[in-house]
Chains A and B, each alone.
Chain A
Amino acid sequence: MYDTIIIGAGMSGLAAGIRLAYYDRRVCILERHNTIGGLNSFYRLRGRDYDVGLHAVTNFTPKGEKKGPLARLLRQLRFRWDEFALAEQVGSTIAFPGVSLQFGNDFDLFRSEVHKQFPRQKDQFEKLISKIVDYDDLNQEIFDLSTRQVLAETIDDPLLIEMLLCPLMWYGNGREHDMDFGQFCIMFRSIFFEGFARPLAGVRLILKKLVRKFRGLGGELKLRSGVDKIHVQDGEAVSVVLESGEELLGRKVVSSAGWLETMRLCDDVSHVDSSQAGQLSFTESVSILDCPPRDLGVDRTIVFYNDSEKFHWQKPSGLSDVRTGVICSPNNFAYDPDDDAQAMLDGVVRITSLANHNSWSALSEQEYALEKLRCYDDVLESAVRFTPDFRNHIIDTDMFTPTTIRRYTGHDNGAVYGAPQKRLDGATHLKNLFICGTDQGFVGIIGAIVSGISVANQHLLRD
């Protein structure tokens, strides 16, 4: 009998597991795949390492800072700041036709950019900042407000509104068209007030730290252990049945599979409304270059681009929508120059585009391979309008699509940020079943880890 069974060895499940194991709970994490990480996993192809989810870690705060999610999670998981080996971004850009805004990890740069490019919005922008500073995480009513409405009431230049929404929706909005105001504030803080960083070794470094700590504390991790169902009796989850038929007993169960996906596992739930699933999925076009990207002038950490004045955040009707995208180079972080591993780093440019899961999953194997090539070309054609053209220097490519993301995350529609409706308290219809991760409310690597911690603290450690 376990004290807690955790479904999914992504960032949130591992973080919850560490909290429980640290306080001597008997805990087991079940992972369907043969590796950990979920959305934030990694893979090896033709001798090269690739990250799946990670562009950058958000919420960067420097060593010694005591406030904010990064400092909090380090304390809660008993890590020293240095252990994540975070190197800061060199600088990022929001690029729209004819106007761009630079930003880095010092908020004053972004503020001065907005003041310079939108001089008549100076006071309005400051008013928005104070609303974001005042926003209280715990108030569900304010969380649910329409961001577009709040922005329209505060700022009267529509272009500035779109330029603010573009990066924040790209990095953490599971809702089409609009965004929950709470989510907007959380993302604004995590990207503009705090900032981007990355370990040189990528996401695998963070995952390895988490899993090593979890196991070191006596936690059990079972790979290749997909869950077939959560067995319910008298309003309580009593066991978790694996696809192999093995049944594991647990006093409490926490699932990072997603809200609908978890409901479907419960054997007392007969109908799940799949129309509540998230719709937004991505393709990721990865180019390996024969030189560091900055040698070609591709010197930004991240460029969020949009090719018209209106930013469209919605599921494309066809396979993909390349009008907007995110260009990221993992090379463009301020790594320690003495770290020899840096010389080993391939030049990499990753570009994310919006994509439609159903269209991609309907393709035959042959069509799929062909459409990937076609889409890759379209993506690069679109992106080089916002970054120097690097296409003559490509030596290898890879691309993943919504079907890949679905495979890694198990989310309906390969929805990267899960369902639009978040369940902030993590509670379900069963008193001993909880959810954590994407559908609980926090996204991104730091968000997911904080999600696992807070669900563990709130529901799993208080007895």
Chain B
Amino acid sequence: MTPGDIREEIIDILESIAPDEDLSELQDAPNFRDQLELDSMDFLDIVMELRKRYRIQIPEEEYEQLASMQSTVAYLEPIMKDMAKAS
């Protein structure tokens, strides 16, 4: 998967967590938390969705890497670059 694919996948995960949210204006640099008001329960969901969809295990001490779109894509790129996009 390319960084663009990974970004798209994260958007898809965020859409499933917050179906009423308009994500078209989401910016990559600022924290998700500031833009979407996600709480710790929602962060757990991003982690769990990655595990469910791609069997990716993220250790608790690395959750902070998922703070923004930019940092999330950077963190996932080496892990996901050889994976195929889930349909």
Hey, which bits of chain A sit against chain B, CB under 8 A?
A: 23-24, 63-64, 66-67, 72, 74-76, 78-81, 453-454, 457, 461
- Contact, CB under 8 Å: A74 / B48: no
Residues in A neighbouring B36, C-beta threshold 8 A: 66
Q: Say whether, besides A24-B52, A64-B20, A80-B20, A72 and B39 are in contact (CB < 8 Å).
A: yes
Report the minimal beta-carbon distance from A310 to chain B, rounded to whole angstroms: 40
- Chain B residues 37-87 with CB under 8 Å of chain A are 37, 39, 41-42, 44-45, 48, 51-52
Q: How many whole Å from A124's CB to the nearest CB in chain B? A: 32
Q: Does B11 contact A (CB under 8 A)?
A: no
* Residue ID in chain A nearest B21 by CB atoms: A66
Contact partner of B19 (CB less than 8 A), chosen from A66, A80, A453, is A80
B17 within 8 A of A: yes
Chain B residues numbered 1-47 whose CB sits less than 8 Å from any CB in chain A: 16-21, 36-37, 39, 41-42, 44-45
Beyond contacts A24-B52, A454-B41, A461-B48: 12 other A-B pairs, Cβ-Cβ < 8 A, are: A23-B48, A66-B36, A75-B18, A75-B41, A76-B41, A76-B42, A78-B16, A78-B17, A80-B20, A81-B20, A453-B41, A457-B41
B20, chain A: closest CB distance, angstroms = 5
**CB proximity of B74 to chain A, nearest CB, Å:** 25
The residue in chain B whose Cβ has the minimal distance to the Cβ of A461 is B48
Chain A residues with CB under 8 A of B52: 23-24
The CA-CA distance from A80 to B42 in the complex, in Å, is 15
User: Complex: how many Å from CA A24 to CA B52?
Assistant: 8
* Shortest beta-carbon distance from A207 to chain B in Å: 21
30 A-B contacts (beta carbon < 8 Å): A23-B48, A23-B51, A23-B52, A24-B52, A63-B20, A64-B20, A66-B18, A66-B21, A66-B36, A67-B37, A72-B39, A72-B41, A74-B19, A74-B20, A75-B17, A75-B19, A75-B42, A76-B41, A76-B42, A76-B45, A78-B19, A79-B19, A80-B19, A80-B20, A81-B20, A453-B41, A454-B41, A457-B44, A461-B44, A461-B48
* Chain A facing B: main interface SS: loop
- Report the nearest B residue to A80, measured CB to CB: B19
Identify which of A63, A81, A457 gathers the most chain B CB atoms within 10 Å of its CB. A457
Alpha-carbon gap, A24 to B49, bound state (A) = 11
- The interface residues of chain B lying within 8 Å CB-to-CB of A457 are 41, 44
A80 to B18, CA, bound (A): 8
A74 to B21, CA, bound (A): 12
User: B43 → chain A, closest Cβ, in Å?
Assistant: 11
**Nearest Cβ on chain A to B35's Cβ, whole angstroms:** 10
Q: Which residues of B contact A76 (CB under 8 A)?
A: 41-42, 45
Cα(A79)–Cα(B16), bound, Å: 9
* Closest CB in chain B relative to A66 CB, distance in Å: 4
A74 to B16, CA, bound (A): 11
Q: How far is the CA of A457 from the CA of B41 in the complex (A)?
A: 8
Query: How far is B77's CA from A125's CA once the two chains are assembled, in angstroms?
Result: 54
Highest count of chain B CB atoms <10 Å: which of A63, A66, A79:
A66
Of listed B37, B39, B41, B48, residue having the most chain A CB within 10 A? B41
The interface centre, meaning the residue of A67, A78, A81, A453 with most chain B CB atoms within 10 A of its CB, is A78
**CB nearest neighbor in A for B36:** A66
Q: Which residues of A contact B45 (CB under 8 A)?
A: 75-76
A24 nearest in chain B by CB position? B52
Q: Which residues of A are found within 8 Å of B20, using beta-carbon distances? A: 63-64, 74, 80-81
Residues of A within 8 A of B37 (CB): 66-67
**Docked complex Cα distance between A79 and B21 (Å):** 12
Specify which of A63, A75, A76 lies most central, judged by the most chain B CB atoms within 10 Å of its CB.
A75
> With a CB–CB cut-off of 8 A, which chain B residues contact A66?
18, 21, 36-37
Residue of A nearest to B49 (CB): A23
In the bound assembly, the distance between CA atoms of A211 and B40 in angstroms comes to 26
The distance from the CB of B33 to the nearest CB of chain A, in whole angstroms, is 11
In the assembled complex, the CB of B75 is this many whole angstroms from the nearest CB of chain A, namely 20
B44 contacts which chain A residues (CB < 8 A)?
457, 461
Taken together as a complex, chains A and B put the C-alpha atoms of A457 and B39 apart, in Å, by 13
Contacts of B18 in A (CB 8 A): 66, 75
Taken together as a complex, chains A and B put the C-alpha atoms of A76 and B49 apart, in Å, by 12
